[in-house]
Amino acid sequence: MGCGTGRFAAALAERAYAKVWAVDSSPEMLEIARARAPSGVRFKQASAERLPFKDGWFERALMTVVVHVLDRPRAFAELRRVLGAGGRLVFATFDPAHVHGYWLNRYFPSMREVDLARFAPADVLLAELRAAGFAEARALRHSRRKRIDRETALERIRGRHISTFDLLSEDEIEAGLAQAEADLPDEVEYALEWLVVIASRA
Ligand SMILES: C[S@@+](CC[C@H](N)C(=O)[O-])C[C@H]1O[C@@H](n2cnc3c(N)ncnc32)[C@H](O)[C@@H]1O
């Protein structure tokens, strides 16, 4: 769900775990995913909040870095509906700790607040999953350190590589980019603070 460029759909299909459907609301993303996918992956343009699949159609549902852009109560209820008995939803998202420590906060002062409103803490996600009818839900934390060079960091900012940029003003983006060009170090080190959530239908 929210397959984007399709890297996980391709990985799952290549390992022949199962028949894979790759779903995304964006036709542009699906076009890229289609071009890279091995045969066997099927595609559907649809919103997580309204899925054109029958009840109980899937054994597993997977989302990576998608939950923060969804209407979560509606999407969780839909995902539960399309999972069969014993079905499981697994998703990876960022813990609010990730938002607090994000390496771009220093350049874009609104970023923290914008993303704290989108990346919910584990207890909120688990309560929403139970309210959507999942019998059991648990969350794991996973922390990973990353290092990128200055040019890569600047390319990411110029390319507005995360959707948070869509929610900032042009003035803030311009000022943040100018400051980053002036004082980014040769290497930028940061942590990815992941939340992995596993919810069982019954
Ligand atoms: C940050 S990208 C993550 C893509 C991919 N899962 C990955 O990890 O590379 C979020 C994706 O969610 C899709 N998306 C946004 N809103 C959606 C919705 N309501 N239903 C389904 N997909 C949605 C976007 O088009 C985008 O491809």
> How high is the pLDDT of residue 7?
93
Q: Give the separation between CA 42 and CA 22, rounded to whole angstroms.
A: 6
Return the pLDDT at 202. 82
pLDDT tens per residue across span 72-128? 999 999 999 999 999 999 999 999 999 999 999 999 999 999 999 999 999 999 999
**Which part of the chain is CATH 3.40.50.150?**
64-200
Distance 24 CA to ligand 1 centre (A): 6
- Quote the pLDDT of residue 38: 87
Atom of ligand 1 nearest to the CA of 26: 25
pLDDT per residue as tens digits for the range 113-130 = 999 999 999 999 999 999
Q: How far apart are CA 151 and CA 156, in angstroms?
A: 9
CATH 3.40.50.2300 fits domain 64-200: no
The number of residues in the chain equals 202
Shortest CA distance to 7 belongs to which of 27, 28, 35?
35
Which residues, in sequence order, are CB contacts of 37 under 8 Å at separation 6+?
A: 6, 9, 10, 13, 22, 43
Centre of ligand 1 from the C-alpha of residue 86, in Å? 25
Q: What's the 29 CA to ligand 1 centre distance in angstroms?
A: 8
- Region of 160 (left: φ > 0; alpha: ψ -120 to 50; beta: rest) is left
Residue to probe by mutation, ligand 1, list 69, 163, 196, most atoms within 8 Å of CB: 69
Q: Which CA distances in Å does 86 have to 93, 152, 160, 200?
A: 23, 43, 40, 7
What is the value of pTM for the model shown? 0.93
Residue holding tokens 């980053």? 180
Q: Contact, 23 vs 1, CB < 8 A?
A: yes
Confidence of residue 14 (pLDDT cuts 50, 70, 90): confident
134-175: pLDDT as tens digits? 999 999 999 999 999 999 999 999 999 999 999 999 999 999
Among 1, 24, 34, name the best residue to mutate to test ligand 1's pocket (greatest count of ligand atoms within 8 A of Cβ). 24
Ligand 1 lining (C-beta closer than 6 Å): 1-5, 7, 24-26, 29, 47-49, 64-66, 69-70
